[in-house]
Amino acid sequence: MPLTPPAEPDPEPKMNWASFYAVISGVNRHSTGIGRIWLSVLFIFRILVLVVAAESVWGDEKSGFICNTQQPGCNSVCYDHFFPISHIRLWALQLILVSTPALLVAMHVAHRRHVDKRLYKLSGRTNPKDLEQIKTQKMKITGALWWTYVISLLFRIVFEVTFMYLFYMIYPGYKMIRLVKCDSYPCPNTVDCFVSRPTEKTVFTVFMLAVSGVCILLNIAEVFFLVGKACGKHLHTAGDSTMGVWIQQKLCSY
Amino acid sequence: MSWPVLYAQLVGANRHSTSLGKVWLSVLFIFRVMVLVVAAESVWGDEQSDFTCNTLQLVFVSTPTLLVAMYVSYRNHSDKKRLLQSSGRAGLLSNKGQEEDLETLKKRRLPVAGALWWTYACSLVFRLLFEGGFMYALYVVYDGFQMPRLVQCDQWPCPNLVDCFISRPTEKTIFTVFMATASSICMVLNMAELSYLVAKAVTRSLCGQKERKTCRKSSRVKTQNKTNQKLLVSA
């Protein structure tokens, strides 16, 4: 997928989303079509939006959070009380965790390639062209790889749903409040505290929630696709067996 | 902190690791370095010093792998020398043949046996010691993994006992717990890898102690049977 992440104006190179993209997109070759769409949605509508836009919106969340008091420490304590973990960090953790099941598939593919290579060597085919072909050929999602792939999809769905639930528990509702009332120590009484850029934050929160929902739907569709494909293949090859014939007859009678 | 350079060094040494070692490297870079750079550094961004500790831990924990990298490059260098000497003496190999041999030397994967086994096992032990040491240091210096909201201080030049407020304590606690958990997972992986290496060495020496002929013959038959099975399945 020819996507280049935006150039960051950093004088010093650091391990960032670009290297993460390189790692994850390697898995892309062995995904289904829906899997590739999911990866594009993840990188364009979530990681890119997070890095390019959302981080600057939440950049002044602490410095822009002002309470109507001169009492030192009140600002800090009230901010901590209402924002236990920032949206940005939660989304970053969500993206990291949601992308990692793809590595299970990458490890399985590497293991299969290793086994194939050994097989070739044992059967005497040590031609370097053959060995190169093993590296570049696309693995079919069958057998144990099918199970690894489906399990990785299920993990992805579980992580996405868990994070959406966590989000709902920590910040009930999608709207960012403009004003919070706080009376934790050392605030002298109930003080008004104002959140910076609440509307812009609401817009981004809604956007990220919507894209999360789309990703969950894509993952569910992919699971159904794989299961359907496997069932279809099983019916086709079990054409001789009585069970297969019975199922085919039943399906054709509708 | 130049993480890509560290990553490049570790990936090079990774080729000679066991599978558990490769999993450890992925866990290290994705769940610890990535989270540190992408999320945690901005949480501690408005602090003065607390982040040096976590970064130092990651650097120290990665360095024993460089022992393995150093040993592998030493082996490659001595094998290369031997190859050049023998080809020079024989004078039979053409330039192209020699180049091909040198390329295979660079690309080959050394089996984890003999002196490499000891280097690898030592690097694992050092990794475990560094991880445990840093976790303990963090626990002792900061009185547990929880970040307090308020500390009371009467150090000079504070006039009396004053209240000092720490910024974002909850978020910091969450990330400290996350990093401690990732550290523990890495320690478990390292211990599993060490046990696997020891078990492998023990079985290898037991196999060697039995009559060498019968052992080799039966293992050859076993490998041939496995190959035949796989060829039949793939057909």
For the record, the structure tokens of A174 come out as 């999608």
* A16: nearest CB among B2, B37, B164: B37
Is A203 within a domain? yes
Which pLDDT value is given to residue B235? 54
> A84 and B170 in contact (C-beta within 8 Å)?
yes
User: Which helix (H) or strand (E) is A98 found in, with range?
Assistant: helix A87-99
pLDDT at residue B211 above 60? no
Average pLDDT score over residue span A36-63: 87
> A186 and B163 in contact (C-beta within 8 Å)?
yes
Which pLDDT value is given to residue B217? 60
Is A70 within a domain? no
Kindly report the CATH number assigned to the domain that includes residue A139.
Answer: 1.20.1440.80
For residue B70, give how far its alpha carbon lies from the nearest alpha carbon of chain A (Å).
24
Of A13-22, A159-168, B225-234, the one with minimum mean pLDDT is: A13-22
Residue B195: which pLDDT band, with cuts at 50, 70 and 90? Answer: very high
Is A193 within a domain? no
pLDDT digits (tens, 9 = 90+) for B31-86: 888 888 877 777 887 665 445 556 677 878 887 777 777 877 888 888 888 877 87
User: Closest residue of B to A122, CA-based?
Assistant: B227
Contacts of B178 in chain A (CB under 8 A): 93
Residue B232 forms contact with A (CB below 8 Å) = no
Contact B168 A92 (CB under 8 A): no
Which pLDDT value is given to residue B234? 60
Q: If you write DSSP's letter for every residue of A103-142 in order, what string do you get?
A: HHHHHHHHHHHHHHHHHHHHTT---HHHHHHHHHSPPP--
* A84: nearest CB among B164, B171, B227: B171
Contact B42 A89 (CB under 8 A): yes
Q: Cα dihedral angle (B148, B154, B156, B159), rounded to 10 degrees?
A: 120
pLDDT at residue B104 above 50? yes
Residue A178 to residue A197: CA distance in whole angstroms = 8
Residue A10 to residue A57: CA distance in whole angstroms = 19
What ipTM does this complex have? Answer: 0.72
Please report the residues numbered 170 through 199 in chain B whose beta carbons come closer than 8 angstroms to any beta carbon of chain A: 170-171, 174-175, 178
Of A193-197, B69-73, B149-153, the one with minimum mean pLDDT is: B69-73
Residue A5 to residue A161: CA distance in whole angstroms = 27
Q: Give percent above pLDDT 70 in chain A.
A: 85
Q: Label each residue of B103-124 as H, E or C.
A: HHHHHCCCCCCCHHHHHHHHHH
Which structural domains are found in chain B, ordered by start? 3-87+114-197 (1.20.1440.80)
Q: Any bridge partners for residue A191, and if so which?
A: A182
pLDDT at residue A9 above 50? no
Which pLDDT value is given to residue B23? 81
pLDDT digits (tens, 9 = 90+) for A214-249: 999 999 999 999 999 888 888 877 655 566 566 666
Average pLDDT score over residue span A186-198: 91
Residue A252: which pLDDT band, with cuts at 50, 70 and 90? Answer: low
DSSP B145: S
pLDDT at residue A4 above 80? no
Q: Residue A166: is it exposed, middle or buried by C-beta count within 10 angstroms (0-12/13-18/19+)?
A: middle
Residue B35 to residue A91: CA distance in whole angstroms = 11
Is A212 within a domain? yes
Contacts of B39 in chain A (CB under 8 A): 88-89, 92-93
Contacts of B4 in chain A (CB under 8 A): 13-15, 19
Which pLDDT value is given to residue B57? 79
Contact B168 A80 (CB under 8 A): yes
Contacts of B222 in chain A (CB under 8 A): none
Contact B35 A72 (CB under 8 A): no
Q: For residue B124, which of B49, B222, B50, B24 has the smallest C-alpha distance?
A: B24
CB contact set of B35 (below 8 Å; sequence gap of 6+):
A92, A93, A96, B175, B178, B179, B182
Task: Give SS3 for A66.
Answer: strand
**Chain A interface disruption, residue of B38, B104, B230, most A CBs within 10 A:** B38
Predicted TM-score (pTM) of the model is 0.75
Residue A2: which pLDDT band, with cuts at 50, 70 and 90? Answer: very low
Which pLDDT value is given to residue A152? 92
pLDDT at residue B28 above 80? yes
> B203 and B71 in contact (C-beta within 8 Å)?
no
Q: Any bridge partners for residue A93, and if so which?
A: none
Contacts of A186 in chain B (CB under 8 A): 150, 163, 165
Q: Give percent above pLDDT 70 in chain B.
A: 81
Contact A92 B7 (CB under 8 A): no
Residue A53: which pLDDT band, with cuts at 50, 70 and 90? Answer: confident
For residue A250, give how far its alpha carbon lies from the nearest alpha carbon of chain B (Å).
32
The residue with greater pLDDT, A146 or A19, is A146
Which pLDDT value is given to residue A219? 94
Which pLDDT value is given to residue B21? 83
**Chain A interface disruption, residue of B2, B34, B35, B222, most A CBs within 10 A:** B34
Q: For residue A35, which of A159, A200, A218 has the smallest C-alpha distance?
A: A218
Residue B121 to residue B197: CA distance in whole angstroms = 8
How long a stretch of residues is chain A? 254
Which pLDDT value is given to residue B184? 92
Sign of torsion over alpha carbons A40, A46, A49, A52:
negative
Average pLDDT score over residue span A173-184: 88
Is A50 within a domain? yes
* A89: nearest CB among B33, B43, B234: B43
Which pLDDT value is given to residue A241? 59
Sign of torsion over alpha carbons B125, B128, B129, B130:
positive
Contacts of B164 in chain A (CB under 8 A): 73
Contacts of B151 in chain A (CB under 8 A): none
Is A68 within a domain? no
Q: Which domain holds residue A97?
A: 33-59+89-177+199-230
Residue B86 to residue B79: CA distance in whole angstroms = 11
Which pLDDT value is given to residue B91? 61
Is A117 within a domain? yes
Is A25 within a domain? no
Which pLDDT value is given to residue B25? 83
Q: What is the mean pLDDT of chain B?
A: 79
Contact A15 B3 (CB under 8 A): yes
List the beta strands (DSSP E) in chain A. 66-67, 179-182, 191-194
> A20 and B34 in contact (C-beta within 8 Å)?
yes
User: Closest residue of B to A117, CA-based?
Assistant: B227
> A157 and A220 in contact (C-beta within 8 Å)?
yes
Task: Give SS3 for B150.
Answer: strand
Q: How many domains does chain A have?
A: 1
Residue A12: which pLDDT band, with cuts at 50, 70 and 90? Answer: very low
For the record, the structure tokens of A134 come out as 């093993």
pLDDT at residue B93 above 70? no
Residue B205 to residue B210: CA distance in whole angstroms = 9
**Chain B interface disruption, residue of A80, A98, A118, A166, most B CBs within 10 A:** A80
